Amino acid sequence: MRTVLGAIRLGHVRFLVLGALLLAGVDAHAQTDPLASWNDGAAKQAILEFVKTTTDQASLKFVPPAARIATFDQDGTTWVEQPMYTEVIYCLERVPVLAKAKPELKDVEPFRTVLSGDREALAKLTMPDLEKILAATLTGMTVEEFGAQVKDWLAAAKHPRWKRSYTELAYQPMLEVMKLLRANGYKTYIVTGGGQDFVRVYSESVYGIPPEQVVGSAGGTKFGYDKSGRPMLVKEPKLLLNDDKAGKPEGIHLMIGRRPVAAFGNSIGDKEMLEYTQAGEGARLMMLVHHDDTAREYAYGAKSKVGSFPEALMAEAKRRGWSGGRLRCWIWSVHVR
């Protein structure tokens, strides 16, 4: 695995449907090539072609600037989601901090297990256990307090395998795609199953995406006043939007109100977003990131015990490609080189 300035560098791009595997060097073009971390394969060409035709007024595939919406799943698509979602790691690592303020938590499950550090016991936590941990660490504070807590944690926390800050584990090729799209009038959005408020803390610095362009799973807040009469918003344990699977297009409609023309995902949770994107008129770009390199990053899939390689999604994509004829760019495989 090569890294560049802290970002995991993905470059080996394989066009899965056609099976074309191209390994041309890219470093010579790094200064001028907007997709310098991508190999000169079909995937890269498709992105460049999409950007070129959708921004060329003479093209039949021209997309007016206002309609240039591109959405990116986050976990596994724009940054590392292994060994578990960064936000879940945050919640677990936040428990000891909570226990300092509330020592009684040490005797209450599931907090006792989390505090024990017993990995076997941790692995057996149930979904209701996890929900209790999320509620305790993600709600009950003002939105500003939460932002500060996440910021502090991100500044110190290190990924167990890569020994780097989580915010350094964004995929360089995806950062390049975002930048290229923005340079061509596209508004880039994160559309994540993760917590909207969590991702908003670092979206600008990591992806160049402002908080208002982060769509994520969102809890309610409650407006009120603190003791001095100052207005405040407190995060509540009430789910307004579960931004995963069907929730992704629903969340896109709620938060953006337009159908994307380009969408990027990596898992079955992105299926509906990709379908919804595809179902619009005119030029469309739908891409899947595929992780298949154990040594330099992670390998997902049936042969691995890690992650959720979208076999089902890929099967559907192929099926749709056969029947729809508009799926030229549906399936791509991007892995670390």
Which DSSP string corresponds to 270-287?
A: GHHHHHHHHTSSS--EEE
Q: Are 263 and 277 in contact (CB under 8 A)?
A: yes
For the bound state, the minimum distance from the C-beta of residue 208 to a copy of itself, rounded and expressed in Å, comes to 11
Residue with tokens 């969408």: 263
The correct pick among 27, 152, 212, 311 for binding a copy of itself (CB under 8 A) is: 212
One residue of 255, 262, 317, 329 binding a copy of itself per CB under 8 A: 255
Q: Which is nearer to a copy of itself, 88 or 246 (CB)?
A: 246
Which among 190, 186, 237, 182 has a CA at the least distance from the CA of 215?
190
* Residue 322 interacting with a copy of itself (CB under 8 A): no
Quote the least distance from Cβ 78 to a copy of itself, whole Å: 18
Nearer to a copy of itself, 106 or 258 (CB): 258
- Of residues 108, 301, 115, 277, the one with CA closest to residue 191: 277
Task: State both tokens at 235.
Answer: 């995060």
Stretch 108-167 residues interacting with a copy of itself (CB under 8 A): 143
| 87: contact with a copy of itself by CB under 8 A | no
Residue 141 identity (one-letter amino acid) = M
The structure tokens 């989580």 sit at 166
d(CA 18, CA 264): 19
Based on CB atoms, which residue is closest to a copy of itself, 102 or 258? 258
- From CA 34, how far away is CA 27, in angstroms rounded? 12
Q: Which is nearer to a copy of itself, 35 or 190 (CB)?
A: 190
Strand 333-336 vs strand 20-21: parallel, antiparallel, or unpaired? unpaired
Decide: 125 and 84 in contact? Cβ < 8 Å: no
Least separation in angstroms between CB 16 and a copy of itself: 23
Q: Which two tokens stand for residue 194?
A: 């993760």
Q: Does 71 bind a copy of itself (CB under 8 A)?
A: no
Residue 187 as a binder of a copy of itself (CB under 8 A): the answer is yes
238 sits near a copy of itself (criterion: CB under 8 A): no
- Cα–Cα distance, 2 to 303 (Å, whole number): 24
* 103 belongs to the binding site for a copy of itself (CB under 8 A): no
Among 232, 237, 294, 308, binds a copy of itself (CB under 8 A): 232
- Contact residues for a copy of itself (CB under 8 A)? 66, 69, 143, 187, 196-197, 200, 204, 210-212, 214, 218, 220-224, 230-233, 240-241, 246-247, 249-250, 253-258, 272, 275-276, 278-279
